[in-house]
Amino acid sequence: MTALAPGSTIGILGGGQLGRMLAVAAAQLGYRCHVYSPESDSVAAEVAARFTCAAWHDAAALAQFAAACDVITYEFENVPVGPLGALPHGLLAPGTRALEVAQDRVREKHFVEDVGGTPAPYAAVDHDSELAGAVDRIGTPGILKTRRDGYDGKGQWRFENAAEAQGIRIPQSGSVYEGMVRFEREFSVILVRGHDGEVRFWDSPVNTHRDGILARSELPAPAIVTEQVAAARALAQRVAEALGYVGVMTAEFFATADGPVFNEMAPRVHNSGHWTIEGAVTSQFENHVRAICGLPLGDTASLSGRMVMQNLIGEECLAIEQHLSDPAAHLHLYGKAEPRPGRKMGHLTRVG
């Protein structure tokens, strides 16, 4: 691929905070961004050169958007795949294959197994009548997840015993029942893959969730994680190569006594990689821009052995003076107007 010259336009599908941080990184490299989102209150559009507010299935608006872009990427994995088939060949990076896999939890698990990975024990549940059998086969405790959509703990039901699964209605799109994994810690493998197939990894942070939402990512990770990173990286790279992936991708794992267990993948920049803005030579956002634009990838080395990224959820974002009273703190607020419970409003990174 011939590298896109500064001044070219990067299209971003989705208007949230990940798109906002991508647009900031793109601007630093001299690129313009054009955000496309059905939501009029886009925080990404606030820092972009252009904004198209239109439905995903608005073929005319999407075609006009595509004609104004030199490359198009996406900032979240629930962009409908169907309309993207009309985009000119090669314009979308990563392509639709990664979306097709990541949008269906059962398909994602099959895909990971096919490239040699180990997901949590699972069973597809497409009808109400199948749930009891799935719980019986996989056992309890377990967690029922919608097969499509759902993030940050949404669309999930935990069962401690089979009785708690009675009366649950399965959505039309189906669900997947997973056995709970006995694990020591959760961690991420964050990689970037260029058009030429080069792959680079950032250090793997250990992640802490609260109510299904990522609360903290931090380095260094404990020994049980560092001992399993090589195997997890090898799997993540096989996934990226099998998808023909270009850009930043994250795979989340459980560190268990039997080795890394695959949890899920995100075909995009990821919350657990926000620390790279201040904590790495090249951030995940800049390297995603570099990759999709055909530029050389940047160094992913950490600048310090100690980093903590804390999500600011709900009204935690309001204590600005308190957060900044630590001179080592880097505060990122996403520009969202309403600090609702469970809503990611910003993050705070401490380096060193």
pLDDT at 211: 86
Q: How many CB atoms lie within 10 A of CB 120?
A: 20
Binding-site sequence positions for ATP? 105, 145, 150-156, 178-181, 186, 209, 263-264
CA dihedral 322, 326, 331, 335 (to 10 degrees): 10
- pLDDT, mean of residues 200-213: 95
| 279-297 pLDDT, tens digit each | 999 999 999 999 999 999 9
| 148-176 pLDDT, tens digit each | 876 655 678 888 888 888 888 998 889 99
State how beta strands 185-193 and 247-256 pair.
antiparallel
Structural domains of the chain, with CATH: 9-92 (3.40.50.20), 121-179 (3.30.1490.20), 185-351 (3.30.470.20)
Binding-site sequence positions? 105, 145, 150-156, 178-181, 186, 209, 263-264
* β-pair partners for 351: 307
Mean pLDDT estimate for the chain: 95
pLDDT at 168: 85
Cα–Cα distance for residue pair 87/109, rounded to 1 Å: 28
Could you tell me which residue, 159 or 32, shows the higher pLDDT?
32
Contact call for residues 2 and 294 (beta carbons, < 8 A): yes
Contact call for residues 85 and 64 (beta carbons, < 8 A): no
At 190, the pLDDT band (50, 70, 90 cuts) reads very high
Q: What percent of the chain has pLDDT over 90?
A: 88
| 38-72 pLDDT, tens digit each | 999 999 999 999 999 999 999 999 999 999 999 99
pLDDT at 182: 93
- Of the chain, the end-to-end C-alpha distance in Å amounts to 38
